[in-house]
Homo-oligomer: A and B are copies of this chain.
């Protein structure tokens, strides 16, 4: 089957009105689909209201036991279930999951090299069987960014990584498209001009754009991640604004499509 995996983060989740609008668009997105959501600033806010402050070590955010409890409550509890209930209200048969549920995403606690990130999980294996069964029954899996180690421990996990790993694992037997909803309308030539979207990037173009420093800093891991997914069989990766998701679904230019086919931009 063809499977569309859509990832949203804080720039959608943190704003109730935007989340509502996104869920409406998502409900209109045709075909088999999976939603992956990060957490945004809500976990930090709830944590602070309970006296749990973000923990930083050498400038990196770490997940201690209290923080893990908070993200589990906010991501897997409040946000995930509100999204599921709202999708049900839109006649979308959503079912919320963490990686622990049905052992759908197995991780290991990130090994300590220089920094101990705490209860952070690096994904080892996706249980595609469960996900395929759900999709075949027309159920829409909605993943929060929590996984587990199969030894009883929940682990905080990067939502982009969950989306990518789901996409690559499912692409063994299916045609998978990956959609990253982003705070910009795509990859931009001029980061201050939202009309300067680069519509299509392949590896050749990516190399040139990096050399010319058009693509730099935060966009590089995002695109490296996208190309890694393509190399593992994902059909295409889209980066754009949540509000343009339906245009993307219809194949209209509405963000940046990343694919491995040769394409002559100039």
A150→B88 contact, CB < 8 A: yes
Residues facing B in A78-95 (CB within 8 A) are: 78, 80-82, 84-86, 88-90, 93-95
In the bound complex, what is the Cα–Cα distance between A148 and B139 (angstroms)? Answer: 17
Dominant secondary structure of chain A at its interface with chain B = helix
Q: Chain B residues with Cβ under 8 A from A139's Cβ? A: 102, 130
B152→A86 contact, CB < 8 A: yes
Chain B CB within 8 A of A173 CB? no
Q: Chain B residues with Cβ under 8 A from A95's Cβ? A: 97, 101-102
A82→B154 contact, CB < 8 A: yes
> Which residue, A77, A90, A93, A98, has most C-beta atoms of chain B within 10 A?
A77
| Contact pick for A77, options B72, B130, B150, B151, CB 8 Å | B72
Further contacts, 18 of them, CB under 8 A, given A77-B81, A81-B98, A84-B101: A46-B50, A72-B77, A72-B78, A72-B82, A73-B73, A77-B78, A81-B100, A81-B101, A84-B100, A84-B148, A86-B152, A88-B150, A93-B102, A94-B100, A94-B101, A94-B102, A130-B139, A133-B137
